[in-house]
Structure 1
Amino acid sequence: MKKILLSLVVVLISATALAQDDNLTDSQERLNEFNAVKKHEVSLDVVAAIAGLGINPRYEYVLGRYSGVGVDLNIGILDNDDQFDYYEKFSITPYYRQYFFSKEDYGAKGFYGEGFVKVFSFEDSYYVGGMFGNENYNTESYTEAAIGVGIGWKWVSDSGFLIDLGVGVGRNLGIASDPQDYELPAVTGRAGVNFGWRF
């Protein structure tokens, strides 16, 4: 009798699960199709590009509805001319993101929190006095790494067009020795307004 009752419960649960799959709304069906096919994103930080600060491409792979992994590059194109004590020339930033509040969305969009590791190089330019009153202009390069966190919001249209607005802060690990004329900052920032495409 127990075996018959157990078999009946299993059949009812299976039938209920199948009925739920058959009763998906149009939005849920589009969500499933979208997530099954579109898992790659490429984007560019348009603010940095327009301001002439750097070229910042990004790639993200959607792991699922609530998470993704990716990497940012920053290629500095600004001619410093000693305007900044600390000018980032290049960085690579792998990250992991967790998305929240996306039950009605296509997944991997909306509000997110992220953890990242940033490895970056920067230049310090300074004047050194010469023997006869003349000054020499020196530029030195340094490499540093940081671990940090960030938050942001991503919008993704049905066609795959996306806008990603995010900020973050990381703690420098102290790999680089301090430049001659100042002490390195303890933190590094991360921010951008990315436009791109999910495919």
Structure 2
Amino acid sequence: MKNVITVLFLLISIIASAQEDTDDQPVNLNQINNKKHEFRIDVLESLLVPAIDISYEYVLSKYSGIGASVNFDFDDDDFDFDQKFAFTAYYRQYFFNKKDYGARGFFAEGLLQYANGNNNDISFITDDQGFITETIQSNGTWNKFGVGAAIGQKWVSKNGFVLELSLGGGRYLGDDDNDSPEGFFRGGVSFGYRF
């Protein structure tokens, strides 16, 4: 785990230093501002659990963007609430943008999420002395809609390479039952490309 954190900090340092203008050639802002489409993959999700999270964002202006993420979980562990799929739609507002081209820097996002998964409920039947006499395991599925928010930081190089750090979460709406989770986490370390 220490190696993963060291590599992430090293990559962030390299990308942050690459953001500085080191050449004297003028930047073609029209070419940079015309890049409106962005794809990202959450590498932290892929490293920590066997899952893939792919995001697409359309840049509305230098201060805002809309997008969607799809998450597929390939983990076969029998947790109580095992999420297998999630689709998230979001709107982002960017702040403190000091460059002439935008949709980068500090951001806040509001989001809607649909997710489904498996629930693995284990019940124990005990006798009068408290000893377990029988174990009952029930399996089922759940489907939920939720709302949430996240904050983060995005760096975009002149050639379109993207690094994003984000953290957030939300709450699922509807009946609170014991067969599905009440909330969700959103965040990670994503690499991508804007074109």
Shorter-chain TM-score: what band?
Answer: 0.7 to 0.9
Map of 1:197 onto structure 2: 193
Query: Residue 108 in 1 paired to residue 103 in 2?
Result: yes
Map of 2:168 onto structure 1: 168
Find the aligned partners of 1:105 and 1:79 in 2 and give their Cα distance: 47
Find the aligned partners of 2:137 and 2:171 in 1 and give their Cα distance: 30
The structure-2 alpha-carbon separation of the partners of 1:168 and 1:126, relative to structure 1 and needing over 3 Å to count, comes to same
Query: Residue 59 in 1 paired to residue 66 in 2?
Result: no
Find the aligned partners of 1:135 and 1:106 in 2 and give their Cα distance: 61
Find the aligned partners of 1:61 and 1:184 in 2 and give their Cα distance: 30
> Aligned runs of 1:7-46 on 2, under 5 Å?
26-27=26-27, 30-36=28-34, 38-46=35-43
Write 1 or 2 for the structure with the bigger share of strand: 2
SS of the residue aligned with 1:26? coil
SS of the residue aligned with 2:103? coil
Find the aligned partners of 2:150 and 2:100 in 1 and give their Cα distance: 21
Query: Residue 97 in 1 paired to residue 92 in 2?
Result: yes
Deviations 1:96-117 (A, max 9, x none): 0011111315310000010000
Find the aligned partners of 1:129 and 1:101 in 2 and give their Cα distance: 55
Deviations 1:150-177 (A, max 9, x none): 1000011111010111111212212574
Find the aligned partners of 2:99 and 2:56 in 1 and give their Cα distance: 24
| Higher Cα Rg, which structure | 1
Map of 1:159 onto structure 2: 159
One-letter code aligned to 2:111: F
Find the aligned partners of 1:51 and 1:193 in 2 and give their Cα distance: 11
TM-score where L is the length of structure 2: 0.76
Equivalenced residue count is 164
SS of the residue aligned with 1:56? strand
TM-score where L is the length of structure 1: 0.74
> Aligned runs of 1:106-145 on 2, under 5 Å?
106-127=101-122, 135=135, 137-145=137-145
Q: CA deviation at 1:55?
A: 0.7
Find the aligned partners of 1:136 and 1:177 in 2 and give their Cα distance: 19
Find the aligned partners of 2:106 and 2:190 in 1 and give their Cα distance: 15
The 4+ residue runs of structure 1 with deviation greater than 6 A are none
The structure-2 alpha-carbon separation of the partners of 1:127 and 1:111, relative to structure 1 and needing over 3 Å to count, comes to same
Q: Sequence identity of aligned pairs in percent?
A: 40
Q: CA deviation at 1:135?
A: 4.6
Find the aligned partners of 2:68 and 2:86 in 1 and give their Cα distance: 10
5+ residue gaps, structure 1: 1-24
Q: Over the residues paired in the alignment, what is the CA RMSD in angstroms?
A: 2.2
Map of 1:74 onto structure 2: 71
5+ residue gaps, structure 2: 1-24, 126-132
One-letter code aligned to 1:43: R
One-letter code aligned to 2:58: Y
Map of 2:3 onto structure 1: none
Task: Check whether the contact 1:144–1:175 (CA below 8 A) recurs between aligned residues.
Answer: no
Q: CA deviation at 1:92?
A: 0.2
